[in-house]
Chains A and B, each alone.
Chain A
Amino acid sequence: MTKVIRVLTFLLLSSATTTATANPEGEARYRQGVMKSVGGHMTAIGMIMRQGIHTDALKFHADAMASLAKQSKNIYPEGSDVSRSEALPAIWEQAKAFQKATQRFIDASEAFAEAAGSGDQRAVGQALRGLGGSCKGCHDDFRAES
């Protein structure tokens, strides 16, 4: 019993106290890679919607976006705001608000994947606005202006 409690306490403590990453540059570059993929799928989705090409690939890109959104929870270890990163310190200083922005991204990408599966054009357009809004919401508050 005491062992269980000890293990539990350890798990609780280690999850509550986020330690700074040992590899800030690598983490930042990894994050940019994930974000670039997000941006790449968005470009593809834009062309599908605007030019009406590859419409059958919409669901594929939407699912990929939803997976990336889930992974984006893990790409902000503390201490990874190196100078070449555009991640703002607010990400860690206002952790609650940032978590909300990430959750909004996850929810919006899932809603978009669902709409893309339904084939309902109006629902797809609506969900895409929600998805784009979630990108912009986070970039406005947590990403350095270009």
Chain B
Amino acid sequence: MKDSRTTLVWDVATRLFHVFLLALVSVCLYTGLSGGLDEMDLHMVCGYGVLALILFRIIWGFAGSTHARFSSFVVSPARTLRHAQGIYARLRRNPRSREIAPSLGHNPMGGYSVIMMLLLLLAQATTGLFASDDIFIEGPLMHLVSDDQSQTLTGFHKLFSKVIMVIIGLHVFAVVCHEIFLKDRILIPMVTGRKRLEEHSISDARDVNQKPLLALVLFALVVLAVYVLVDALWW
């Protein structure tokens, strides 16, 4: 008989973070690449949103539930390498391949990709605050640096946008690989939060403690901080 029990892996804050980040980054990419005056107004607001989300997620990486914590998914390079070898062997259908150690939350490689995406988006949102298009659009903190520095940071902002598109492509590719080739269902759980125990060869696990109130308070504080940063510090 199939074991159909499920367990809550992703707390509601992490899931909402993910879906809002997807939406805001998409809008930012679209508006930023178009570069029109109206589009850029939207670009900046959504950029502040991305900054708030990333800052929240970093705090949540320490204060959140089990699988949202960095300490649960940032593992040693050796373990990450073993994991990568395991996946490679599985994809090659090598019968003597070792079992991939099951992980309910982020697997070792996924964990590092999360860290990389967070840092990259943090850098992108931050450089945007100091950027300018030399025409009509000025980041709210541009006056804190010299014109030359603003130009340099604008250059980074443009460069990072390309890197981000590549990384998003890799991220989607990795998820598709997990779903199709490794039969590891990770897409739906990032929406519903629940994973089937049997699929992960785990016999027992407790639902994570979502701490929704803490998440709400922390997020409100972060939004306030970003608001002060971009509005009160504007000149």
Contact = CB atoms under 8 A, between A and B. Distances in A.
> Which of B38, B134, B138 has the most chain A CB atoms inside 10 A of its CB?
B134
Interface stretch (B78-86, B149-157, B164-172, B211-219): B149-157
A136 B158 contact: no
A42 B135 CA distance: 6
Interface in A33-87: 39, 42, 46
B155 A129 contact: no
A133 B152 CA distance: 23
Interface residues of A, number: 12
A141 B155 CA distance: 16
A132 B138 CA distance: 13
A123 interface: no
B135 A129 contact: no
B37 A132 contact: yes
Interface in B135-155: 135-136, 138, 151-152, 154-155
Given A146-B151, A146-B155, A129 B134 contact: no
A126 to B, nearest CB: 11
B133 interface: yes
Interface string B106-145: 0000000000000000000000000001111010000000
A125 to B, nearest CB: 9
Nearest to B152: A146
Contacts, number: 33
A135 B134 CA distance: 9
B155 A136 contact: no
A67 B221 CA distance: 49
A39 B133 CA distance: 10
A139 interface: yes
A136 B37 CA distance: 10
B36 interface: yes
A55 to B, nearest CB: 17
Q: Tell me what chain A mostly uses at the interface: helix, strand, loop, or mixed.
A: helix
Contact of B35 (A39, A46, A128, A136): A136
A133 B36 CA distance: 7
A135 B135 CA distance: 7
Contacts of A46: 136, 138
A133 B38 CA distance: 11
A132 B135 contact: yes
Contacts of B35: 136
B172 to A, nearest CB: 27
A136 B133 contact: yes
Interface in B32-64: 35-38
A145 B136 contact: no
Interface in A85-119: none
A143 to B, nearest CB: 9
Nearest to B157: A146
A132 B152 CA distance: 22
Interface of A: 39, 42, 46, 128-129, 132-133, 135-136, 139, 145-146
Interface of B: 35-38, 133-136, 138, 151-152, 154-155, 158
10 contacts: A42-B136, A128-B37, A128-B136, A129-B37, A132-B37, A132-B135, A132-B136, A139-B134, A146-B134, A146-B155
- For the complex of A and B, the 4 pairs showing the least CB-CB separation, nearest first, are A146-B151, A135-B135, A146-B155, A132-B37
